[in-house]
Amino acid sequence: MVNINGLAIGQSAKIVKIEGDSPLTKRLSALGCLPGTDLALLRRAPLGDPLVVRFRGCCMAIRQKDAASIFVEY
């Protein structure tokens, strides 16, 4: 189990857990980013932050520090 920061560009994984109780965590849950959801890392900004991920057909930019709380398995 790794967080999203550990994925390679183009790699897909399944969300296992999302840690924390921040407003972003709640927002991701409201958007359907829940354990069991398939997720793919599409790209990283030139300096590595933010990451662009796709889940449930939507693309979203997520900061590295927030991505560190989303754990996935291949």
Strand order of the β-sheet with 70-73 is 2-3, 70-73, 12-18, 38-44, 51-55, 58-62
Per-residue pLDDT tens digits for 20-70: 888 888 888 888 889 999 999 999 999 888 999 999 999 999 999 889 999
pLDDT of residue 23: 87
Q: What is the CATH number of domain 2-73?
A: 2.30.30.90
Q: What is the pTM of this model?
A: 0.86
Predicted local confidence at residue 20, as pLDDT? 83
Distance from C-alpha of 49 to C-alpha of 45, rounded to nearest angstrom: 5
What pLDDT shows up at residue 35? 93
Cα end-to-end distance, the chain, whole Å: 8
Instruction: State residue 27's pLDDT score.
Output: 87
